[in-house]
Amino acid sequence: MQKKSNKRGGGVKVLNPASATRAERAHLFGRHDRLLIDGQSFRVERKVKDTHVLQPVTGDLIAEDYFVVKSDKEINALIRSKRIRIDEGHYSKALAILRVRFDDSDLTDLSEEELRTLAWKKEWCVRFLDAATNLQGRWRPRRVIDDFARFVEENRDLMDRWYLDMFGQRRRPGRRIKGEVRKAFDYPSPFALKKWLARFINGNCRMESLRPHYS
């Protein structure tokens, strides 16, 4: 009679349940999410492997040169102990305001009209970035011409009202272009807004990046 082999077939490895460890849940936060840990607010700067790099926020100030790191394991422990609250998209609108204090652009040589134009351009850029990063928004525009065109179409009247409320007057009518209907008030073309946004981001969201003849 043939003896049965004691070897298990199929190369299946049997794990000892006692030696198994629970896998830690991995987290991926957005840059505009707020992590409230033990009452202290943090903005997410980036994630490196399983470690989150956080910036403390106090009032309306971001600690630009100070960072705190938390691993996924530490985040999970904070969740289990109910010491953390996660507010998605909290800083999407506040981010531009938070950055204002760190904007040391020298604009003293500009006229009042040029300063109003800079503020107007910045508001266009901030609103686009806000919409692009708002996880609860009905539409998140991408940096492609079709989306810039749609964004301008949907926001030009709102921006006209913003300018009027802010400065007590409307933007000048658009330029006269042969064969085209003149704009009743000024608003950017999709290509212009794309250019402004690129300059604004490359200039670290500083007003100076939108000034005339900036390089």
Mean pLDDT, consecutive 10-residue stretches, the chain (215 aa), reads 48 47 80 85 87 80 76 94 87 51 71 86 88 82 95 92 83 65 76 93 84 65
DSSP SS3 for 13: coil
**Residues β-bridged to residue 40:** 37
**Contact in structure between 123 and 159 (CB atoms under 8 Å):** yes
Quote the pTM value.
Answer: 0.53
**Contact in structure between 122 and 207 (CB atoms under 8 Å):** yes
Q: What is the pLDDT of residue 76?
A: 95
C-alpha distance across the termini of the chain, in Å: 90
User: If residue 96 lies in a helix (H) or strand (E), which one and from where to where?
Assistant: helix 95-100
The ranges assigned to domains in the chain are 25-95, 105-210
DSSP SS3 for 11: helix
DSSP SS3 for 72: helix
